[in-house]
Amino acid sequence: MLLTALFVLILLSAFFSMTETALMAANRHRLRHLAKQGSRRAITILWLLDRTDRLLSLVLIANTAINALATALVTAIAIAAFGNHQRVITAATACVAALLIVFAEIVPKVIGATYPERISLFTGLVLKPLMRLAKPLIWFVNIFVSGVLRILRIKVGARAAEQRISPEELRSIVLDGGSFIPQKHKSILLNLFDLEKISVEDVMTPRAQVEALNLDTPINEILHQLATCYHNKLPVFEGEINRVAGILHVRRAISLFNHEHEVTHDDIRALLAAPYYVPVDTDVFTQLAYFQENHERLGIVVDEYGEVQGLVTLEDIIEEMIGEFTTSSPGNSEGFAWDADRTCLLEGTTTLRDINKRLGLQFPLDGPKTLNGLLLEYLQDIPEANVAMKIAGCIIEIVQVQNQSIRMVKLIG
């Protein structure tokens, strides 16, 4: 009979130890999700976790009382069997300590930490009624606990603010998602976290690659450019690109080809929309919000002196989040990858961020944005062709130099 009682006490102690660990290790986000789906057990667990001080008081009071009873019971069994001797009491104490440590502490807590949600959802149904029954005792104990915490200047509710997850912590959760999050979804989420770390300068089309209309050129050349252009919108400038006249919707310009009278520069000026300017150091996430607020899809990127640095579109930002989905324009280096012999031919205007992302390299991103800029900074001179160097563990061979810039390079991995 006494042995059966001892076995029951150890089981109860194991139950409370396992419950304590499982509740503290339970994923609250998963529990909230289950609660939104109507799980009463999840709602009960969240109710308990919102009262952590009372919950811990209940578990620890029960565990301590049960362990004390188990110790007294083992001592009584030992004295009844072997007599009231100091050695018997010492041996009984050692035995009960070993039993409690192994079967009532370590093993249950390991199980609780391994299956926290599964165990919590089961044990919560027991703990909630117990908490209500033991409410007077818990209240009495918490009077002393609150006094000690007040002396130590610890606020029980202070952890609420600390439990807010930072972007870096969310990033770690996504990275640790493993097979629970599809790789494509994981990539999109990680890109979203990076939007506040990069500026429009990192995703814009550089000034040298911007296709634009110059109103100082003959009208027949402008019409030919409109007939063969690749884009839906074109910046329009007069004389030089810093004198922006506006943005032309190419579809509106189609009507010019049907005019009976001769088309003039003024006809094109009449179709221009006001340009939308974007500071070069604006972070991409903020710019996405600006595009939405201003109902714009294209912005002209300018530096602190008002000089045009490039062009950024809504599509550029979306592609930064979810990957490329539009057709690449002719003559660019998009879609590049390592060849079978571990080489890659690139234009000098290719951005370092794209190279790092696609080829798995580690070129520095805190300086120049393009491969041409990186090489010019590294060499401190405009090099000749057939010059090679090694940067960030990658061999870079300059293939073609044109107009004071590096036009083509070969990467050797």
Higher-confidence residue of 271 and 81: namely: 271
pLDDT higher than 60, residue 297: yes
In this structure, are strands 244-249 and 272-273 parallel, antiparallel, or unpaired?
antiparallel
pLDDT of 162 higher than 70:
no
pLDDT of residue 170: 75
pLDDT beyond 90 at 278: yes
How many CB atoms within 10 Å of residue 255? 10
pLDDT tens by residue, 32-54: 888 888 888 888 888 888 888 88
Q: How far is CA 410 from CA 11, 348, 358, 404, in A?
A: 70, 10, 15, 18
pLDDT tens per residue across span 325-361: 655 454 454 568 888 888 899 888 888 888 888 888 8
Residue 3 in this model has a pLDDT that exceeds 90: no
Taking residues 271-289, report their average pLDDT.
91
Q: Is the pLDDT of residue 114 over 50?
A: yes
Predicted local distance difference test score (pLDDT) of residue 227:
84
Overall average pLDDT of the 176-182 stretch: 68
End-to-end Cα, the chain, rounded Å: 76
CA 72 from chain center: how many Å?
Answer: 54
User: What pLDDT, on the 0 to 100 scale, is given for residue 164?
Assistant: 65
Q: What is the pLDDT of residue 259?
A: 61
Residue 276: per-residue pLDDT:
93
Amino acid 157: pLDDT: 55
Q: What percent of the chain has pLDDT over 70?
A: 92
The model scores a pTM over 0.75: no
Q: Poorest-confidence range of 94-108, 154-168, 308-322, 393-407?
A: 154-168
The more confident residue out of 345 and 185 is 345
- What is the mean pLDDT of the segment spanning 371-390? 86
Quote the longest CA-to-CA distance of the chain.
123
Q: One-letter amino acid identity for 296?
A: E
What pLDDT, on a 0 to 100 scale, did the predictor assign at position 161?
46
Query: What's the mean per-residue pLDDT of the chain?
Result: 83
Residue 301 sits at φ, ψ, to 5 deg, of -85, 125
Q: Could you count the other beta carbons within 10 Å of the beta carbon of residue 367?
A: 11
| Type of residue found at 206 | P
pLDDT of residue 331: 47
pLDDT at 163: 58
Q: Residue 384 burial by CB count (10 A; 0-12/13-18/19+): exposed, middle or buried? A: exposed
| 124-133, 247-256, 333-342: segment of lowest average pLDDT | 333-342
Residue 165 neighbours by CB distance under 10 Å: 11
pLDDT of residue 160: 46
